[in-house]
Amino acid sequence: MQQSKRRMAPASFLTAVALAAACWTAVPAQAQGAARASDFIVAVVNSEPITNLEVQRRTARMAQQLRQQGGRIPTQAELSRQALESLVVERAQLQQAREAGLKVDEAAINLAEQNVARQNSIDVAELRRRIERDGMTSTQFRNELRDQILMSRLRDRELDSRVRVSDAEVEQYLREQTEAAPAAPSEINLAQVLVAVPENATPQQVAERLARAQDVEKRARAGEDFAALARSFSDGTDAAAGGEMGLRSPDRYPELFLQATAQLPTGGITAPVRSGAGFHILKVVEKRQGGMLQSITQQHARHILLRIDAQQTEANARERLATMRRRIEAGQADFAALAQASSQDGSAAQGGDLGWSNPGQFVPEFEEVLDALRPGEISEPIVSRFGVHLIQLLERRQYQLNPREQREVARNMVRERKMDEAYRSWLQELRGRAYVELRQAPQ
């Protein structure tokens, strides 16, 4: 389960659940209706069609996400072009995945669906109700989940063998970080509460939304937990994560956000900032200056592993672990005792205790679930390349790195950078090999 040399690939393209969550964005009913009335084939990728309805759905979704993030929305023609291109590249990936014999079972889709629900602080039944309310059937959503997981597995397989990091590259990275000017932050983590303003809102509606945003700002400045306020009041897609948008370089944030937070210290909160999506209250969660990373977030977890073999199917393993989970949560059994008795992993003798782990220490399918857990929470049974796991997060902490550990972090950072470059190059190769026929709209 652990991977001593393999760093998890960039979340921007390997976190299937996050990508799948992005699939679920409300598409205005009028946009769906208009597209449905004029559906036709707009492109063919290696003999597989893309329809106008698919392009319109993707266009509406992209526009909605840009509004929520406060980004600049391109013209309709440009947005449609981008939507079509993204669908073309997806089709090419899915075709290659099928040719390679990759498959996604129902258990993996169920897990992804559960994780999307957890990210939005709702159960699966409520997730399905909201999806159908927003114009997408549960079957369509699960098919999109399947596609995202399939593409994730294909990328993992294709890119792993392409990226190697030399000692010289690690040394170069360390020199660059040491010489980096500390005046401007190299990475920023912002959190937001978005109070959405509808398109074509009346002055009264705008005033009401502004008052709501100002109330949230007042409560945040008075000391209320910002993450709790985001979960309760934000209309943004990041609400379930406490509004946090993640540690990223400044050029990956909207200029509007950078201007509003430029003079704020860590922990600072802005007044409501107006964008095309509505009013944003921003908090500076972290500013990381140039220089080497001094600390990381470690996680202490334990697990029960059941391996899949001739004597035990995946379905049986999942059922056994689900029963264990119910017993533990009902107070009828102890996690450590069950791990000692049942786990088929070297950690069984320690009650399944995995000790403190660093980012990237576990395989992605395990670590992504662990990252989403709250301290004390037990996951649903999840499938990895090693079998089926039941995971409990015990606690998290900030850990100060020694020089050897800083080198390992540097190696991981270089690997992530090279993986990102390899991913873009691979996509270009894949796109270049695909036969794409664009078709005109019928007269």
- 146 pLDDT higher than 90: yes
**Fold of the CATH domain 295-400:** Chitinase A; domain 3 (3.10.50)
Q: Burial letters for 309-347: b for 16+ Cβ neighbours within 10 Å, e otherwise?
A: eeeeebeebbebbeebbeebeeeebebbebbbebbebeb
- Would you state the pLDDT for residue 293? 62
- Would you state the pLDDT for residue 350? 96
Q: What is the pTM for the complete model shown?
A: 0.56
- Would you state the pLDDT for residue 6? 33
**Which one has a higher pLDDT value, 363 or 89?**
89
Strand partners, 389: 305, 382
Residues in CB range of 443: below 8 A, 6 or more apart: none
- Listed residue (115, 85, 122, 86) closest to 13, CA to CA: 86
- Would you state the pLDDT for residue 243? 86
- Would you state the pLDDT for residue 16? 41
Percentage with pLDDT > 70 across the chain: 86
The kind and range of the H/E element at 193 are strand 185-196
- 68 pLDDT higher than 80: no
- Would you state the pLDDT for residue 51? 95
Domain 11-162+434-438 and domain 181-289 have a common topology: no
- Listed residue (321, 336, 341) closest to 388, CA to CA: 321
Residues in CB range of 156: below 8 A, 6 or more apart: 9, 14, 364
CATH number of this structure's domain 11-162+434-438 = 1.10.4030.10
**What would the DSSP string read from start to end of 44-91?**
EETTEEEEHHHHHHHHHHHHHHHHHHTPPP--HHHHHHHHHHHHHHHH
CATH number of this structure's domain 181-289 = 3.10.50.40
- Would you state the pLDDT for residue 273? 94
pLDDT digits (tens, 9 = 90+) for 103-143: 888 878 888 888 787 666 677 888 899 888 878 899 999 99
Provide the mean pLDDT of the chain: 83
Backbone angles phi, psi at 123, to 5 degrees: -90, 175
What residue segments make up the domains of the chain, in order of their start? Answer: 11-162+434-438, 181-289, 295-400
Q: Which tokens sit at 90?
A: 């997806």
Q: Which tokens sit at 120?
A: 């939005």
